Amino acid sequence: MILSEGLRRLGTPYTLESRPRDVAVLSNSEIVVTCVKCLRFLSVSSDNVISLTRQIKTSSSFFSICCKTPTQMVVSTSDDIRNVRMISVDGVETDFQQVEFPKKTYKLGYSYSTYVQSKNTLVLTDRLDNTVYMYDTVKGTSRAVTNGNIQEPRGACVGPGDTVMVCSNFMNSVVHLTVDGDFLCTYPVDMKYPCTICVSRDGTRLAVSNCVSGDKKLKLYKIIPTLNN
């Protein structure tokens, strides 16, 4: 569904054939949604009508998705030793050659990824290990970030100034990190178990949703710059 800045529903929600997992914006008029072993590409008209344009079958089961370039996306996997992969808008799947992932597979919902384009930095969260992994995909270096504020990390996104923001599920907060893995601060959110997160293109608004049965919420926060930023 499409929501306004005031979280009012615009147009009519589009119903998919299977449960959607994550969504990425490709352009002002096109989005892509991860479903069970497929990507669905949807067009969005100026009057907020959503239509299916095409779909691509995938070899792995993808969960989170974000853009790496205008024609290539980064996706996290479930039940696959290749924890994060790349896929083009034409459906060509490739792997990160300079990245050494944890020697494990993740069940659905236990790891998320995002990509900081300007810093060539891949981010992977490990919910059970309370760890956020940062990978420099050009240099091949990595850092495992652990912190008392990072408890069951889930969704992650690119924050203002090419930083990283991560949902700390068990702490009911959002943790703010640099791409080098340095801790900046933590923001409490008024909901239990924040799960997914995104920042607006202009870096002024933060959207957070949770995953509590019977108490699901979506909240929009204003990001106020400080003198230290």
The mean per-residue pLDDT over the stretch 158-185 comes to: 96
Contact between 157 and 115 (Cβ < 8 Å): no
Confidence bin at 225 (pLDDT 50/70/90): confident
Closest CA to 152 of 129, 123, 174: 129
pLDDT, tens digit, for every residue of 35-94? 999 999 999 999 999 999 999 999 999 999 999 999 999 999 999 999 999 999 999 999
The mean per-residue pLDDT over the stretch 212-225 comes to: 91
Go through the domains of the chain in sequence order and give each one's CATH number. 2-222 (2.130.10.10)
Adjacency order of strands within the sheet including 61-69: 61-69, 72-78, 84-88, 93-95
The mean per-residue pLDDT over the stretch 20-37 comes to: 96
CA gap 125, 114 in Å, rounded:
9
The three-state secondary structure class of 220 is: strand
Contact between 173 and 189 (Cβ < 8 Å): yes
pLDDT, tens digit, for every residue of 83-98? 999 999 999 999 999 9
Using the predicted structure, report yes or no on whether residue 16 has a pLDDT greater than 50: yes
**pTM reported for the whole predicted model:** 0.94
CA angle 66/7/89 to nearest 5° reads: 20
Instruction: Show the tokens assigned to 212.
Output: 């509590």
Using the predicted structure, report yes or no on whether residue 229 has a pLDDT greater than 70: no
